[in-house]
Amino acid sequence: MAKTCKLCGNEFEPARRNNRLCSEACKRAAAVRRAKRWQADNPKKAAYNYQKAAANRRGIEWCFSFDEWVEWWGSDFDRRGSFAGGLVMARFGDSGPYSVENCYKCTMAENSSVTISKAKGERQHLSKLTEADVRQILSKPRVHGDGKRLAEKYGVATSTMCKILRREMWEHVA
Ligand SMILES: [Zn+2]
């Protein structure tokens, strides 16, 4: 029995009883439409996925969890953009991973014209921790569950605290 394609409205003979679309082209178009709707409904998740994929394509390590990324952008989320006045995420010295500690916001124009030298630890203006904090953190013997507990105490992401404890971050602090 002929059906009406849910996308283009053409009549078609469904191969299976539950087919609602007439052709592969209509299936692809429907998938695109679904993806666009999802993006519109989840703008932050979509933008996060997009930036993460772009970093992967460029072979740059991506360390932001979605929550860290949302927090990093904060109220500037809607000012993001790759036009001259739009805000972009740049890496100190244009090297290393995309991470809370290694990134700063600047305008697209600044990003192309200014080279900001690589800063470490507390010299980075977005860092929440000081060298003294890190020394304090590292001075105590480690106990299971430290990462989460210390992250809450110092107001940083658990993933950040775990990297500090594993000496993968702030490794210059003795
Ligand atoms: Zn169709």
CA distance 4 to 84: 48
The pLDDT tens digits of the residues spanning 47-81 come to 999 999 999 999 999 999 999 999 999 999 999 98
Give the sign of the dihedral formed by CA 19, CA 25, CA 29, CA 34. positive
13 CA to middle of ligand 1, Å? 11
32 CA to middle of ligand 1, Å? 14
50 CA to middle of ligand 1, Å? 29
The pLDDT tens digits of the residues spanning 106-146 come to 888 777 654 443 344 444 445 577 778 888 888 888 888 88
CA distance 143 to 79: 42
Q: Please give the pLDDT value at position 56.
A: 93
CA distance 58 to 49: 14
CA distance 149 to 140: 13
39 CA to middle of ligand 1, Å? 23
User: What pLDDT band is residue 84 in, cutting at 50, 70 and 90?
Assistant: confident
Q: Please give the pLDDT value at position 142.
A: 82
| Cβ atoms < 10 Å from Cβ of 139 | 7
pTM of the full predicted structure?
0.55
CB-based neighbours (< 5 A) of ligand 1, an ion = 5, 7-8, 22, 26
